[in-house]
Chains A and B, each alone.
Chain A
Amino acid sequence: MEEADDFRNWKELLPDLQGEIFTYLSLQERLTTVPCVCKSWASTLAGPYCWQEIDIEEWCNQNEPDKIDRMLVMLIKRSSGSLRKLTVSCVQTEKTFTFIAENAGSLQTLRVSRCNMTDSIVEDLTQKLSMLSFLDVSYCNKIGAPALETIGKNCTMLEVFCRNMHPIETSGKPFDDDEAIVISSTMPNLKHLGIAYNLVKTEGVVRILSNCPKLELLDLRGCWGVNIENISLEKDFPNVKVLGPHVIDYYEKNGWDDFSESSGYLGWDFMVDEYYDDDDESDISDDIWDDEEGLEEIQFTFYQGIGNAEMFWRPSP
């Protein structure tokens, strides 16, 4: 590499910046390449600074549960109590959740989708994690209204809550408002709520809209029990953007032309990201986005990791 000489004085880079740069690397790069370079790189990396935000969702999807447990324990130890944001999936064992609860009390954002949590694990977890403002428990099939209730009671600062379900899990089951009632009665500070493919009914949605006055975004895609025409959104809840229930509505309304470029569920993920990008830039230009950490990276994604999800794209049940 010809330019190598120009880089000689990179040693003078401020340690803070060095640590900041490492946070932009992939997990593998951070754990294999960086510590091998030299002792000072290794010590920068070993410090908590590089591990205040941990996102290993992708890695989790490729690895066995025991490896996931081992990795989580290792990384959370490194964060030394300064962990702000944790994104994982497929965590299976109770003792790992206990470890998170005991060692990550500073968490503000927690995304634990597709995890094997029970109502009682959620209760233990949220008792310790009362600082959470962003919680994603999508596709956690074992939990229900009781878990949501403890979340609402313990995490009083919760502003973003994701409880999206996979269509396979909810299709054919009777509609009921249990979760919606709990959400509406225990999470009054919500700004964003994602309950795609939830079994909620129209009444449940009205309760949520009425009891969560700060709500800006409600994702109801695939909630076939909701008859949105029966709610006068514009009149009664003018500040809330509602997505769904009909999945197709979204891109028709917004004239998404480039959809053909990407296919299947990946395309959908991309669209949702776009939606939020636009949001950031236009409607909500106020300082709320700068002031409140965590809100800026909101995404509600669908069918992640499920290859044949296209078949569920139909807008009607």
Chain B
Amino acid sequence: MAKTPEPKRTISLKPCDGDVIEVSPMIAKQMQTIQSFIEDDSFIATTTIIPLPNVTAFQLSKIIDYLNYHSNSKAVADNVKESTKKFDEEFLKELEHDKLKELLHAANYLNVKEVLDFLCQAVADLIQDKSVKFVRKFFGVVNDYSVEEEEDIRRTHAWAFEGVEED
């Protein structure tokens, strides 16, 4: 049954501010932007280095960490939910707020759906159940409505949630 192991094949990614990072094809496949490089005829896995001018080494390694963890955790059946939740929480904790936004942009540039979905959810969680005032302050948004305009907008959809119990 002895089979010659397949030659080690990794994809070389070069972030804008650091050394080349090698990723497995399985991880690279989840980055749509990288995938389109790989599918290009001129791509040679052993020598081609894919430059990523919009992504820092920190962002790239965070994204790879996330993908690695989540693709491995699928294989292990026990307590997946618990440990995944813990990993996700830790993952976000390590991100200062500014870095969260930048990482969102990096994930968007690399077009890696799993990370993008996760980060969008994380930002949405910051907004959910907060007051308008809080959201403005939190995101540094300046209120450009007049008092009357704001009141109008507030009233527009109020009918839909009247009489519904607050959670």
Contact with A along B110-142 (1 / 0, CB 8 A): 000000100011011101111110111111111
Contact with B along A7-33 (1 / 0, CB 8 A): 111111110110011111111110111
Q: Which of A37-45, A88-96, A164-172 contacts B (4 or more CB under 8 A)?
A: A37-45
Residue from the list B98, B116, B136, B160 in contact with A38, Cβ < 8 A: B136
Interchain CA distance A94-B160 in the complex, whole Å: 21
* Complex contact B157–A8 (CB within 8 A): no
Nearest residue, chain B, Cβ from A62: B164
* Complex contact A35–B153 (CB within 8 A): yes
* Complex contact B74–A29 (CB within 8 A): no
- From 32 to 78 in chain A, residues with beta carbon under 8 angstroms from any chain B beta carbon are 32-39, 41-42, 59, 62-63, 67, 70-71
Interface of B is mostly: helix
* Complex contact B132–A37 (CB within 8 A): yes
* Complex contact A33–B164 (CB within 8 A): no
Interchain CA distance A22-B125 in the complex, whole Å: 10
A-side interface size class: 35 or more
Residues of the B chain whose Cβ atoms lie less than 8 Å from the Cβ of A34: 127
Residues of the A chain whose Cβ atoms lie less than 8 Å from the Cβ of B104: 13, 17
B24 within 8 A of partner (CB): no
B93 within 8 A of partner (CB): no
Residues of the A chain whose Cβ atoms lie less than 8 Å from the Cβ of B157: 31-32, 35
B143 within 8 A of partner (CB): yes
Contact with A along B81-106 (1 / 0, CB 8 A): 00000000000000011100100110
Residue from the list A14, A25, A31 in contact with B127, Cβ < 8 A: A25
Contact with B along A91-106 (1 / 0, CB 8 A): 0000000000000000
Interchain CA distance A247-B150 in the complex, whole Å: 53
Residues of the B chain whose Cβ atoms lie less than 8 Å from the Cβ of A14: 105, 108
Interchain CA distance A39-B128 in the complex, whole Å: 19
Interchain CA distance A3-B93 in the complex, whole Å: 13
Residues of the A chain whose Cβ atoms lie less than 8 Å from the Cβ of B74: 281
Nearest chain A CB to B28's CB is how many angstroms away? Answer: 15
State whether A4 and B140 are in contact (beta carbons under 8 Å apart), knowing that A32-B161, A281-B74 are contacts in the complex: yes
Residue total for B at the interface (Cβ-Cβ under 8 A) = 43
Instruction: Indicate the member of A6, A16, A281 with the most B CB atoms within 10 Å.
Output: A6
Nearest residue, chain A, Cβ from B96: A6
Nearest chain A CB to B13's CB is how many angstroms away? Answer: 22
B144 within 8 A of partner (CB): yes
A311 within 8 A of partner (CB): no
* Complex contact A16–B108 (CB within 8 A): yes
Residues of the B chain whose Cβ atoms lie less than 8 Å from the Cβ of A21: 120, 123-124, 127
Interchain CA distance A42-B156 in the complex, whole Å: 12
Residue from the list B121, B139, B161 in contact with A10, Cβ < 8 A: B139
* Complex contact A32–B158 (CB within 8 A): yes
State whether A25 and B139 are in contact (beta carbons under 8 Å apart), knowing that A13-B101, A20-B120 are contacts in the complex: no
Instruction: Indicate the member of B137, B139, B145 with the most A CB atoms within 10 Å.
Output: B139
* Complex contact A36–B132 (CB within 8 A): yes
A1 within 8 A of partner (CB): yes
Interchain CA distance A8-B98 in the complex, whole Å: 9
Nearest chain A CB to B9's CB is how many angstroms away? Answer: 20
* Complex contact A1–B121 (CB within 8 A): no
* Complex contact B159–A24 (CB within 8 A): no
Residues of the A chain whose Cβ atoms lie less than 8 Å from the Cβ of B154: 32, 36
Residues of the B chain whose Cβ atoms lie less than 8 Å from the Cβ of A25: 124, 127-128
State whether A33 and B105 are in contact (beta carbons under 8 Å apart), knowing that A26-B128, A28-B161, A71-B160 are contacts in the complex: no
Chain A to chain B contacts (Cβ below 8 Å), 13 pairs: A5-B140, A6-B96, A7-B98, A13-B101, A13-B105, A17-B108, A22-B124, A29-B128, A32-B161, A33-B127, A36-B150, A59-B160, A70-B159
Sample of 8 further A-B pairs with CB below 8 A, known A21-B120, A37-B132, A39-B145: A17-B104, A29-B128, A36-B153, A37-B143, A38-B145, A59-B160, A67-B159, A281-B74
Give chain B's interface residues, CB within 8 Å of chain A: 74, 96-98, 101, 104-105, 108, 116, 120-121, 123-125, 127-132, 134-145, 150, 153-154, 156-161, 164-165
Give chain A's interface residues, CB within 8 Å of chain B: 1, 3-14, 16-17, 20-29, 31-39, 41-42, 59, 62-63, 67, 70-71, 281
